[in-house]
Amino acid sequence: MARLLPAILALVLSAGSTLFTTGCGGGLSQQMENQKDPETSLIVGHIDMKDGPCWLHWFSMKQVMPKVEKPYYNFRIDEGTFYAEYIPLGSFQLSEFGGAGSWPSNTLYTFRFPQQLEGLRLEKPGIYYIGSFKMTDEGNFFKSKYDIELAKTPSEREALEKILPHAKGTDWEERLRRRLEELK
């Protein structure tokens, strides 16, 4: 697994509800599903957005190798934890994440990772925890300057425990339990 470095994020602001709908990745539910392809992996991570302008509402990754017609993968979200159990083998880069500002704001905040950033090479199927990140604001009173940095919490164990209920009734449930046993 490649090392992931904190990125210099690019912030895109937009307004309106149409973009929010598309930005959510088509309204993915939190419930995982069994996959027909046995070569798929479950990717999990967490972003603490407490110091950001919004909560995490969407997260996506882009497949860069092999080249495919639809390279973007949207993730399921549960309070800062993002996860997707349908990621095929290949090389992936973190693409973007964001959320809608709190009511009554209608601003959508999208943070883009630069393309020149270390990514993930999935060479065999499995459960991969890509880490915990924390959003930071190093700006001032007049202008925010957001970035993310690595965080110590939640741990892999805590993140997997959080998504375990969403794997209920699927093959992932047992695989997650086995991984949690290893982490004890």
Partner 1 sequence: MKRALVCLLLVSCVPSKRREVDAPSDLGSGEILLVGRIKVTPPIAKDEQRLPGIAEDWRGQVMLFIGETAEPLPRPFKGWDYKNRIEAPPDREFSVAVPASSFSIRGAAVPLKLDEPPTDEAVLPGGFRVEVRPGDRAIYIGTIHYHRDEFWQITKVEVEDDYDRVRADCARRWGASDALRKAVVDVPVKKK
Residue 88 preceded by cis peptide, ω within 30: no
Distance CA 71, CA 65 (A): 9
Which position among 20, 55, 86, 91 is part of the footprint of partner 1 (CB under 8 A)?
A: 91
| By CB under 8 A, residue 16 contacts partner 1 | no
Residues 103-132 that bind partner 1 (CB under 8 A): 112, 114-119
Specify the residue, 66 or 126, whose C-beta has the smaller distance to partner 1: 66
Specify the residue, 53 or 119, whose C-beta has the smaller distance to partner 1: 119
In the block, residue with structure tokens 């110091």: 51
Buried/exposed code over 40-63 (b: 16+ C-beta within 10 A; e: otherwise):
bbbbbbbbbbeebbbbbbbbbbbb
Question: Cβ 65 to partner 1, closest distance in Å?
Answer: 5
Site size with partner 1, rule: CB under 8 A: 17
| By CB under 8 A, residue 164 contacts partner 1 | no
Distance CA 108, CA 23 (A): 9
Question: Cβ 33 to partner 1, closest distance in Å?
Answer: 28
Residues 35-74 that bind partner 1 (CB under 8 A): 64-65, 67
Distance CA 178, CA 39 (A): 18
Pairing verdict, β 72-74 and 58-65: antiparallel
Contacting residues toward partner 1, per CB under 8 A: 2, 8, 10-12, 64-65, 67, 91, 93, 112, 114-119
